[in-house]
Amino acid sequence: MKSNEIRQKYLDFFESKKHSIISSASIIPENDSTTLFTGSGMQPMVPYLLGEKHPLGTRVANSQKCFRTDDIKDIGDNRHTTFFEMLGNWSLGDYFKAEQIDWIFDFLIKELKFNPNKLYISVYRGNDNFNISKDSEAVELWQNKFKSVGVKAEAVDNAEINGMKNGRIFYYNEKENWWSRTGVPENMPNNELGGPDSEMFWDFGEHLGLHEKSEWKDKPCHPACDCGRFLEIGNNVFMQFIKTSNGFKELKNKNIDFGGGLERIVVAMTDNPDVFLCDLFTSARKEIERLSKTKYGQNENDTKSFRIIMDHIRAAVFLIGDGAHPSNKDQGYFTRRLIRRAVRSAYDLNINSNFTSDVAKIIIDEYSNHYSNLSDKEKVILDEMEKEESKFRKTLKEGLKQFKKRTDITGQEIFNLYQSYGFPIELSFEELDKEKIKYDKIKLKKEFEEYQKKHQELSRTASAGKFKGGLVDSEEKTTKLHTATHLLLAALREVLGDHVIQKGSNITAERLRFDFLHSEKMSSEEKSKVEDLVNEAINKNLEVLCEEMPLEEAKEKGAMGIFESKYGEKVNVYSIGPKDNKFSYEICRGPHVKNTSELGEFKIKKEQSSSSGVRRIKAILK
């Protein structure tokens, strides 16, 4: 049974139980500034779980797109993914434990034909300190369902100490089997909702936990351990309590919140713990095999690279599809980090030319039937992937050289790798690990942040004098060349990468001189590309508009330029090009032309070193 069929079966099943099927919310949360991403199916449902009326009633279900940043470091094993789909159903004060356990068991066993002998359950142990008893009600309901298919289901406590004891249902404390937005019961504030949950696990076989190389082989095995034998495939949350000043009180209208990982259900059905062997990744995996001339699974290092590439490109496709384009801040930072980490892993597989857009196209085709926004935004997604990969590939080899033959590294060097070669700090740490270079992560991160702050202050100082001492006058020719520097900066960032920032300028009526951060001499091809981009912008007759706004607003909108002023000061922000596709967007104080058609032809006359890590361009308008 294919993944798309399983997803649809789930939605059809709960629709038959009178649930309204709702669309997935965006990965970028709406009206929620507390988090960057939607990380669970429950997250968009919180207002309704807290009592707000859902417009479609008291029973709803969907498949929700999710992204979790914490899992990036774990990608490379056989079960973690940054992006995943969560199959969910909710009762908003309608049905409760009996119906939920009955339906979810029938869905797995009768609809998907799971072997009940390989299904295990966890429930809440209870806690006398909170006056909440063991969830014997859920145990009895589960036992009846297992009995209906001829499976004995004994309930066992303290399995984490004594092992499984031939049990089928296991009691755990609130760390494992309690849900609220604020965590375990003692952390919950008054008037917060929460309750016990009951998780479902698939057993891949005793041999996994007992393998002689397993670090868990001498420890008690049970469903909630991490030996690799068991995989959680779903969680039924019984949201039945509210915390008050007098302890926990049962809600009159209790809620159900179920979440089941689609990818995990798929691998349970195939009885293979490697999520990257499920059908959702098959076409992408084959394409990477073709490009790398390497078979997936042949050796540990290559397999890890395959998994990183497959996971990260898939996640980036969905992030860009929901508006998180690669950038240096917020959600876009993670999109950039994913793409660059995928490109770095492709380097280990000897994939030395652009490939991310090819794999992205395969992923878009795989998912478009259910997530139509991916096909609607296909061109944008593929263009962004291609552009981001091209930027990083320009500096990847040089950046990697910085890690060779080292015994130590400083925070300043980590910052230079970020600024000059496009290495996110986390990627630098991974390279240090690969080269077996010892380092103090906390110390290096602190030093990195200090150098980043110093760099920002220097950039502001340089930018502050940009149009005070940078222009010799405000005559027409000088004004034209000044406007051309905006186009030049945008083009340099497009061709060389986002590490390029202005370090100074001097403009006369005859020529512009422009200093920018970049560590290498530009090639003839790069200079030609920059010239072409500037002249294309000039020939498009782009309007140059000025808008006054508070400094903080300009920063939020992504304007480049001077950030040295206090909060609330008004600044002029110049945009070149249409509102939805600006070529340039900068804070500026100097004179500008009204339209790029006034500029003439842009020509680079010279490119040379200005100082360490800084290049200088001299250019004219003909």
Tens digits of per-residue pLDDT, 243-296? 999 999 998 889 999 999 999 999 999 999 999 999 999 999 999 999 999 999
Fold of 465-621: Threonyl-tRNA Synthetase; Chain A, domain 2 (3.30.980)
Fold of 3-275: BirA Bifunctional Protein; domain 2 (3.30.930)
With residue 43 as reference, give the H or E element that holds it: none
434 Cβ contact list (under 8 Å, min separation 6): 403
- Mean pLDDT, residues 159-179: 93
pLDDT at 467: 40
Better-predicted residue by pLDDT, 437 or 71: 437
What is the reported pTM? 0.72
Give percent of the chain with pLDDT exceeding 70. Answer: 94
Question: ∠ at Cα 192 (186, 196), nearest 5°?
Answer: 65
- Residue tagged 């009762």 (tokens): 91
Q: What is the pLDDT of residues 327-359, one digit of tens each?
A: 888 899 999 999 999 999 999 999 999 999 999
Domain residue spans of the chain: 3-275, 281-394, 402-458, 465-621
With residue 116 as reference, give the H or E element that holds it: none
- Mean pLDDT, residues 378-404: 90
pLDDT at 293: 95
pLDDT at 347: 93
Separation between Cα atoms, residue 204 and residue 384, nearest integer Å: 39
pLDDT at 473: 53
pLDDT at 313: 98
pLDDT over 70 at 580, yes or no: yes
Inter-CA distances, 131 with 126, 140, 183, 191, Å: 8, 21, 17, 17
pLDDT at 495: 95
pLDDT at 219: 83
- Residue tagged 């994913």 (tokens): 338
Inter-CA distances, 530 with 271, 483, 495, 542, Å: 53, 15, 7, 17
Separation between Cα atoms, residue 319 and residue 360, nearest integer Å: 12
Binned at pLDDT 50, 70 and 90, residue 6 comes out as very high
Does 465-621 match 3-275 at the fold level? no
Alpha helices in 128-270 (DSSP H): 136-148, 159-162, 174-177, 206-210, 262-270
Tell me the angle at which helices 441-464 and 411-421 cross, rounded to the nearest 10 degrees.
Answer: 50
* 38 touches 319 (CB < 8 A): no
pLDDT at 211: 56
* 61 touches 260 (CB < 8 A): no
Binned at pLDDT 50, 70 and 90, residue 213 comes out as low
206 Cβ contact list (under 8 Å, min separation 6): 221, 229
pLDDT at 566: 37
Q: What is the pLDDT of residues 500-554, one digit of tens each?
A: 888 888 888 889 999 888 888 999 999 999 999 999 999 999 999 998 888 778 8
pLDDT at 72: 87
pLDDT at 563: 45
Inter-CA distances, 568 with 464, 545, 555, Å: 17, 21, 11
* 587 touches 572 (CB < 8 A): yes
